């Protein structure tokens, strides 16, 4: 089995370089919710050094709230929000003689898209019109996947190693208790269940089906490096190949 491990990066955290050996794709902040052109260049250099696929991580233009506060935008504003961030990171990729591999929305924009068909469609349309070869990473089984697929984009069903799930397959909001997992044993148990059984146990105990093409680790988490190492080692011990090449 081949599976991708992705991580949100270029967000000003000190451990990006240490995490790189344990992942196969990186979602790089494009300067709106975090980062700037310098962090994008540095993160792309790290990706090239470690043969990690380069992805764009567009979010709301709201560094004060790290892109995690919902913002209501018009259809055109949303389209331009995604498009402009892709332009910024694409220009740096060209400067580095490399190319983008995928796009993953960030924070509140991601969570809103996971529940709203129109937001998913507009974001996916911007990605498709920008470069139809880009892979659209979206919450496993959500409208993000169905809307992007309907537009002809290649998609990757994303699952989360360090977040808990609700019975409808969405992530537990960070504003609620127990949204984040704090112990590596819990993270590994969830990852192995998602990969081996194609199921996940929700916060309230239901077991629901899930498809795992790519596993997310949050680079800004307190235990990001520890989790990355344990997840990588666990998947390797299961016989998995860690690679973005199967997406």
* DSSP per-residue codes, 177-191: TT-B---HHHHHHHH
Predicted pLDDT of residue 54: 98
> In the chain, pLDDT over 70 holds for what percent of residues?
100
Distance of alpha carbon 89 from alpha carbon 102, whole angstroms:
12
CA 246 centroid distance within chain: 16
- Which pLDDT belongs to residue 20? 97
pLDDT band at 15 (very low <50, low <70, confident <90, very high): very high
Q: 11 pLDDT exceeds 90?
A: yes
Task: Determine which of 81-90, 138-147, 197-206, 216-225 has the lowest per-residue pLDDT on average.
Answer: 216-225
Q: For residue 14, count CB atoms less than 10 angstroms from its CB and return exposed for 0-12, middle for 13-18, buried for 19 or more.
A: exposed
pLDDT digits (tens, 9 = 90+) for 80-119: 999 999 999 999 999 999 999 999 999 999 999 999 999 9
What integer is the mean pLDDT of 37-57? 98
pLDDT of residue 189: 97
Would you tell me the crossing angle of helices 117-130 and 75-95 to the nearest 10 degrees? 40
CA distance 105 to 22: 22
Q: CA 137 to CA 154: how far, in whole Å?
A: 9
pLDDT surpassing 90 at residue 137: yes
Total length of the chain: 247
| Cβ within 8 Å of residue 51, ≥6 positions away | none
Contact call for residues 162 and 218 (beta carbons, < 8 A): yes
What tokens appear for 224 in the block? 């990001």
Q: How far apart are CA 36 and CA 103, in angstroms?
A: 17
- The answer to whether residue 68 scores a pLDDT higher than 80 is yes
Place of tokens 């050996």: 21
pLDDT above 80: residue 221 = no
CA dihedral 176, 167, 220, 112 (to 10 degrees): -90
What pLDDT, on a 0 to 100 scale, did the predictor assign at position 96? 98
Of 78, 73, 20, 23, residue with least CA distance to 49: 20
Average pLDDT value for residue range 114-129: 98
pLDDT bin (cut points 50, 70, 90) of residue 75 is very high
Residue 247 has pLDDT above 90, yes or no: no
d(CA 111, CA 168): 13
d(CA 112, CA 119): 7
CATH code: domain 2-163+213-224 is 3.20.20.370
Q: Given a cut of 90, is residue 145 above it in pLDDT?
A: yes
pLDDT digits (tens, 9 = 90+) for 159-188: 999 999 999 999 999 889 999 999 999 999
Query: Is residue 218 very low, low, confident or very high in pLDDT (cuts 50, 70, 90)?
Result: confident
pLDDT band at 246 (very low <50, low <70, confident <90, very high): confident
State residue 228's pLDDT score: 96
Rounded to an integer, the average pLDDT of 58-84 is: 98
Average pLDDT of the chain is 96
């Amino acid at each position: 089995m081949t599976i991708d491990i992705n991580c949100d990066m270029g967000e000003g955290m000190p451990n990006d370089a240490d995490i790189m050996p344990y992942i196969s794709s990186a979602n790089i902040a494009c300067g709106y919710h975090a980062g700037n052109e310098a962090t994008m260049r540095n993160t792309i250099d790290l990706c090239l050094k470690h043969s990690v696929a380069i992805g764009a991580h567009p979010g709301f233009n709201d560094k004060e709230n790290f892109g995690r506060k919902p913002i209501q935008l018009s259809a055109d504003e949303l389209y331009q929000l995604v498009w402009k961030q892709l332009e910024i990171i694409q220009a740096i990729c060209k400067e580095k003689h490399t190319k983008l591999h995928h796009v993953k929305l960030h924070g509140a924009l991601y969570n809103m898209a996971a529940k709203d068909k129109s937001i998913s469609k507009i974001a996916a349309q911007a990605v498709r019109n920008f470069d139809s070869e880009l892979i659209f990473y979206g919450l496993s089984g959500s409208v993000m996947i169905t809307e992007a697929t309907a537009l002809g984009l290649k998609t990757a069903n994303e699952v989360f190693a360090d977040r808990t799930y609700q019975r409808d397959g969405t992530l537990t909001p960070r504003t609620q208790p127990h949204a984040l997992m704090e112990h590596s044993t819990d993270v590994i148990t969830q990852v192995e269940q998602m990969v081996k059984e194609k199921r996940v146990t929700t916060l309230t105990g239901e077991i629901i089906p899930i498809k795992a093409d790519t596993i997310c680790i949050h680079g800004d988490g307190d235990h990001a490096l520890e989790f990355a190492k344990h997840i990588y080692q666990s998947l390797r011990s299961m016989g998995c190949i860690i690679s973005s090449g199967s997406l």
